[in-house]
Amino acid sequence: MRVGHPDQFVFNSSVGILCIMKVLLFDPGAGASGDMIMACLLDLGANLDVVRQAVESVGCTLEVSRQEKSHIMACRARVISDRRFQSLSEAVSILQDSSLQGKAREDALAALDTLAGAESRVHGVAKEKARFHEIGALDALADIAGSCAARHCLGLERVFCRPISVGGGNVASAHGLLAVPGPAALEILRTRKMPWKGGPVEEELLTPTGTALLATLVDEFVPDFPLMQAEKVGYGAGKKELVLPNVLRAIVADSMLTPQAKAGQNHGAHGDRVVQLETNVDDVTGEVLGYMIEKLMQAGALDVSVLPALMKKGRSGNVIRAIARAEEAKLLAMIMIQETGSLGVRVFPSVHRFLAERELMAVQVEIGGQVFPAQVKVSRMDGKLISAKPEYEDCKKIAEETDLPLRMIIKKVEEAGWQAREP
């Protein structure tokens, strides 16, 4: 009964439908800041005139150049400003009066609100009275406006991001010397459940503005590179000179996703993102395993399976696997441990399932001149029926009423399901 590594990533594909869509992937191995986000999007081809207009409309000037960072040529976006805003309401008013329109303006206001909320929680004051670590400078507001304008210039369907490197050590701020990541950045990472990691240098790599922008612009954080074919790569240069390339890398690519993800919905009938829990046992009876399965399903597991296995020293045992939503993982792991006596449960995060469209179909079967209703669980791919599975309880009831073998009833109900195959 060994505990596996908690950071393993499993790609689990069952029957499903794939769609090719254009996506953006942020790869913040050297962290992220507002100017780095804007610069890498410009490097990918975002309209410079539109971005410049957004920056200038909040009262700043934009200088764009090419810089070499550790032998990598990158875009440098430098915002010039000589004043600060005095309050959150003034910052909101500036963005509302800017050149940003539609979703770009909504995202800019959302990023500002995310940052203000983090600062207010850190300092225990209302949003309007929050003292900003860095956002009080008008150039940071321009970074937000320019980044949101650039993202929507590219017109990509979905945005992903890998775990963010935050750096280490301490950073000087208006509030004194602060640990990295700074309090506001850490608060956003915490509340928005964004994956991050320390290092790889003892410098501040992730700024509060960069954190708020990623929290707003990214649709999904992924543990590693998703299955995709890269089309363009952009690099946004940071201000500092580091021992590693101080750039934010972004990739435009074709990626395989489900129709719901393509439509921007939350993982509907065609696909969803789950976790897989697994443990090995070698001293648990079938009755206990059956009871455990029942408890796991009642507690929210999407699927549970028990597989026979040959354990160490030649002992026979079982591998218990459960698929569940991430928020149910801890409860289900506790049930597995309590019911089996296992010493630990492996959790494989961010398992992506591709699923066929599924629904219950009502059919009628005629037996001995009498018509019986029954339900069939049907699966479709692109509207075409690929399987029809009769509901056991319905078939059992018909078998008892007709005194016919259950296997015969199941066959008749399945045939009725296939005959009603038109969507």
CA R_g for the chain: 27
Q: What secondary structure letter does DSSP report for 369? A: T
CA-based torsion, 141, 174, 128, 87: positive or negative: negative
Q: pTM for this structure?
A: 0.60
- The SS3 call for residue 93 is helix
Q: How many CB atoms lie within 10 A of CB 186?
A: 20
CATH 3.10.20.300, the chain: domain bounds = 357-419
Tell me the C-alpha distance between 177 and 81, whole Å. 25
Structure-token pair, residue 280: 């090995």
Q: What is the pLDDT of residue 216?
A: 95
Q: How many CB atoms lie within 10 A of CB 75?
A: 25
- The SS3 call for residue 195 is coil
Q: What are phi and psi of 297, to 5 degrees?
A: -65, -40
> How many helices and strands, by DSSP H and E, does the chain display?
12, 18
Tell me the C-alpha distance between 122 and 90, whole Å. 21
- The SS3 call for residue 210 is helix
> Tell me: the pLDDT tens digits for 171-181?
887 667 889 99
The domain made up of 271-354 is a member of CATH 3.30.70.1380: yes
Tell me the C-alpha distance between 272 and 9, whole Å. 15
Whether residue 331 contacts residue 344, with contact meaning beta carbons closer than 8 Å, is answered with: no
Hey, what amino acid is at 326? A
Tell me the C-alpha distance between 273 and 223, whole Å. 12
Which superfamily does 357-419 belong to?
Answer: mk0293 like domain (3.10.20.300)
Q: Which helix H or strand E contains 335, and what residues bound it?
A: helix 329-340
CATH 3.30.70.1380, the chain: domain bounds = 271-354
Q: What is the pLDDT of residue 259?
A: 42
Structure-token pair, residue 158: 């979905």
Q: Tens of pLDDT along the chain (423 residues)?
A: 333 333 333 333 333 344 568 899 999 999 999 999 999 999 999 999 999 999 999 999 999 999 999 999 999 999 998 887 878 888 999 999 999 999 999 999 999 999 989 988 888 887 777 665 444 578 889 999 999 999 999 988 889 999 999 999 998 876 678 899 999 999 999 999 999 999 999 999 999 999 999 999 999 898 888 778 899 999 999 999 999 999 999 999 987 654 444 444 433 344 556 788 999 998 899 999 999 999 999 988 889 999 999 888 788 999 999 998 877 888 999 999 999 988 888 887 655 555 567 778 888 999 888 999 999 888 776 667 778 889 999 999 999 999 999 999 999 999 888 887 654
Q: What are phi and psi of 408, to 5 degrees?
A: -70, -40
Whether residue 219 contacts residue 198, with contact meaning beta carbons closer than 8 Å, is answered with: no
Whether residue 198 contacts residue 179, with contact meaning beta carbons closer than 8 Å, is answered with: no
Q: What is the pLDDT of residue 382?
A: 65
> Tell me: the pLDDT tens digits for 224-236?
887 788 999 999 9
Which residues sit opposite 171 in a β-bridge? 178
Whether residue 121 contacts residue 190, with contact meaning beta carbons closer than 8 Å, is answered with: no
Q: What is the four-CA torsion angle of 324, 330, 334, 336, rounded to 10 degrees?
A: 20
Tell me the C-alpha distance between 149 and 384, whole Å. 41
Tell me the C-alpha distance between 55 and 79, whole Å. 8
Tell me the C-alpha distance between 109 and 150, whole Å. 15
- The SS3 call for residue 58 is coil
